Structure 1
Amino acid sequence: MSDEPRLTSLSHGGGCGCKIAPGVLSEILKSTSGLPLPAELLVGIETSDDAAVYRVADDLAIVATTDFFMPIVDDPHDFGRIAATNAISDVYAMGGRPIMALALVGMPINVLSPQTIGRILEGGAAAAAAAGIPVAGGHSIDSVEAIYGLVAIGVVHPDRVLTNRGARPGDVLVLGKPLGVGVLSAALKKGALDPAGYAEMIESTTRLNSPGPELAAIEGVQAMTDVTGFGLAGHALEMARGSGCDIAIDWRQVPLLRGVRGLAGAGFVTGASNRNWMSYQSQVILPDDFSVEDRALITDPQTSGGLLVSCSPDALDQVLGCFQRHGHAGAAVIGEVLNPAGASPSLAVAL
């Protein structure tokens, strides 16, 4: 339909920028703490991890997660691919191997044509197929805003589950993808993203975090998460809290997508970036000369962002080699894990 609106015009926030701010989410979830949990539930909500893990046998656990959001791009097929890739990432982030998915579909059926909605679902199915899994069912509703995502199911050996709480002092931190997706999406929504920037954004957000299961098998890999809506600072801080350690990031070593610092300096940042900063600024130590654009980038919500891995120095070559084999050539060492300096773990950033 030629008179259909742009997909991004239908959403008040796109991609993982739709996430509820971490401080607000923590307040909402307070009432769920203390509920009885079965011993088979190896990972639940207690440390804000990427997925739930449930042991069904001595050598088998199920990894279950869900992720969905509103459009980050206008091309329906690209939107579907990005949303599905992002959802499957949480299985990889636990060290799991995805086996199937269910679609979550909310669409304004009086605004979008069946053809457009079908293209979104086709994009999601294409991403699932790239991961080697089927979209085996799902659920749909008529919604004011366009929403798409997946329930992703995977399997993992219970001894190879990776969480965000296993980092140890002396570990090094490796980031699997460059930052800046939120900045690019903000520029796109305002018509300021060039074709090369769009292509780079799509390449990053549709690249599967397939190194996850192989990384989980490397001795010396202690913890892992994926960097999504809370930004690098937020997800690194979650790892620090879960592990009871301080984390230090060398900002000069953090990879960035092409042109994002300039775009951030020109004001192309998401509202979620500021909400993120307001939620966790008391536990993040920035240099006095840390620029406004760099702060926007370290808090930038990443849609289908990279894996953040904490590993021993002895395992570093294997970790980087694994990323290389899976097409993540931009993976980089960005920091280290330290002994806690105070009662509350913190994140320190150096220039």
Structure 2
Amino acid sequence: MYLDPEKTSVRLTETTKAGGCAAKLSPAILDNVLSKLKQPANPNVLVGFDKADDAGVYKISDELAVVQTVDFFTPMVDDPYTFGQVAATNALSDVYAMGGRVISALALVCFPEKEDVAILERIMAGGLSKMIEAGCAVVGGHSIKDAEIKFGYAVTGLIDPRRVLKNSSARVGDALVFTKALGTGVISTAVKRKIADSVWVEAAERSMTTLNKRASEICLTRDVHAMTDVTGFGMIGHAREMALGSDVGLKIFASATPLLAGARACVEAECIPGGLRNNRAFAESCVSVAPDVPEQVLSLLYDPQTAGGLLVSVGAADADALVADLRAEGIAAARIGEVTPRTHPILTIAA
């Protein structure tokens, strides 16, 4: 039966084992595989897959480079239109995390052959709404039959090759600023288990459908040295990449790190996605934790985020002004830590 796309009612989270960025492969698997892949050096590749950065950057001229990224995943929300919006927001974020400007995208669709096509229509309409908001032209795509629904985009952007915000250029003495809040992974798990409060779901969906476009633009006006978006590997996983790439230590203050409404309650209810466990197993050997850090908050620092916020390494003298600028535009932002000389372990979680 064909359903009215405006009235389609389906719980997408019931169709998949893991949703959103929690469905990503374990970072341990990726690290093992990618470390063995080698290719000839290319002077125009400013950022490649060997850098564990958010997107690839290829230099066209002294004034112009392209930013390329791809991201798709399974549903983490029940409404098809919202799922499409989240998938688009997440895919666009990698370009913003590099300081780039998006220009075009290709849609990636995996869809069950016998599923109602009205669901797909709503997913793609939701995604297109965010692409239009971003000023990004959807110019084509590719689809295949699949038992599980998956959706996302390959996104292309432009950037000044002299102003690429890598995740590997944090400086000792910088402050760490974070936009948005943590908890989308555990809340999505609570949704799947049908125990999520509507207030939690609304807050998580609002976060996951908020573009990082304006936040990135504001960061470019300040003394920002490094930036990354916090997604599937969680705060600690992406902080680890920043610390290793920059050859520094990072200290994160747990009490200063924003959490979504209901995130701690979800942890207490043991709504722990498999991605959180994978992230913790991979990265916890790199982390020193103060004894007074609450276990629920520590767990959320490993929580896989979907369409998460930006982790920004900014000159300490500019940090408070950056937070003020972001908040003045209605963007959630907090100063959550600092960049230190290289430590062992490389990350410190303080209360």
The TM-score, its normalising length taken from structure 2, stands at 0.95
Tell me if 1:203 matches 2:206: yes
Q: After TM superposition, list the pairs within 5 Å mapping 1:117-136 onto structure 2.
A: 117-136=120-139
Task: Check whether the contact 1:95–1:215 (CA below 8 A) recurs between aligned residues.
Answer: no
- Identify the match of residue 8 of structure 1 among 10, 13, 17: 13
- 1:151 is displaced (CA, Å) by 0.5
What's 1:67 paired with? 71
Alignment of 1:308-327 (within 5 A): 308-327=311-330
Q: 1:323 to 1:4 in 2, by over 3 A?
A: closer
> Are 1:215 and 1:221, in contact at CA under 8 Å, matched by a contact in 2?
no
42, 60, 73: which is aligned to 1:38?
A: 42
Partner of 1:84: 88
Matched, 1:113 2:116: yes
CA distance in 1: counterparts of 2:292 and 2:97, whole angstroms: 33
Specify every segment of 5 or more residues in structure 1 that has no aligned partner in the other structure, as ranges: none
Q: For the Cα contact (< 8 Å) 1:14–1:71, is it kept in 2? A: yes
**What residue is the counterpart of 2:348 in the other structure?**
348
What is the SS of the residue equivalent to 2:217? Answer: helix
Alignment check: 8 A CA contact 2:101 2:158 kept: yes
Residue from 208, 227, 230 that aligns with 1:227: 230
d(CA) in 2 for partners of 1:37, 1:224: 24
- Which range moves more in the overlay, 78-87 or 307-316? 307-316
Q: Which residue of 2 aligns with 1:178?
A: 181
In 2, the alpha carbon distance for the partners of 1:166 and 1:248 equals 16
Question: Partner amino acid for 1:54?
Answer: Y
Equivalent residues of 1:97, 1:213 under 8 A apart: no
TM-aligned CA deviation for residue 231 of structure 1: 0.6
Give structure 1 regions of 4+ aligned residues with deviation exceeding 6 angstroms.
Answer: none
For 1:334, the aligned partner's letter is I
Instruction: Provide structure 2 residue ranges, at least 5 long, that are not aligned to the other structure.
Output: none
Equivalences, count = 346
Residue 337 (str. 1) matches residue 342 (str. 2)? no
Contact 1:211 1:322 in 2 (8 A): no
1:306 corresponds to: 309
SS at match of 1:269: coil
The letter for the 2-side match of 1:171 is: D
- Equivalent pair of 1:265/1:292 in contact (CA under 8 Å): no
Contact 1:214–1:322, Cα closer than 8 Å, also in 2: no
- Counterpart secondary structure, 1:167: coil
Structure 1 residue 46: Cα displacement: 2.0
Give the match's secondary structure for 1:218. coil
The alpha carbon displacement at 1:5 in A equals 5.8
Whether the 8 Å CA contact 1:101–1:151 is kept in 2: the answer is yes
Once the 2 structures are TM-superposed, how far is the Cα of residue 127 of structure 1 from its aligned partner? 0.8
What is the CA–CA distance in structure 1 between the aligned matches of 2:287 and 2:157, rounded to whole Å? 33
Deviation at 1:317, TM superposition (A): 3.6
CA displacement at 1:341 relative to structure 2: 2.9
The CA RMSD over aligned residues, in Å, is 1.6
With over 3 angstroms needed to count, the CA separation of the structure-2 counterparts of 1:139 and 1:326, relative to structure 1, is: farther
In the other structure, the counterpart of 2:56 is 52
Are the equivalent residues in 1 in contact too, given 2:53–2:167 (CA < 8 A)? yes
Aligned: 1:286 with 2:266: no
SS of match in other structure, 1:150: strand
State whether residues 218 and 315 of structure 1, in contact with CA within 8 Å, keep that contact through their aligned partners in structure 2.
no
Asked if 2 retains the 8 angstrom alpha-carbon contact of 1:210 and 1:326, the reply is no
> Percent identity, aligned pairs only?
43
C-alpha distance after superposition, 1:70-128 (max 9, x if no partner)? 00011000000000100000000000011111100000121x21111110000100011
Q: Which residue of 1 aligns with 2:24?
A: 19
Corresponding residue SS for 1:126? helix
**CA distance 1:46–1:322, shift in 2 (3 Å):** farther
Q: Given the two structures, how large is their TM-score scaled by the length of structure 1?
A: 0.95
Distance 1:128 1:143, change over 3 A: same
1:128-277 matched pairs, under 5 angstroms: 128-211=131-214, 213-215=216-218, 217-277=220-280
Counterpart code for 1:333:
R
CA distance in 1, matches of 2:96, 2:329: 13
Assess if the C-alpha contact under 8 Å between 1:162 and 1:216 holds in 2: no
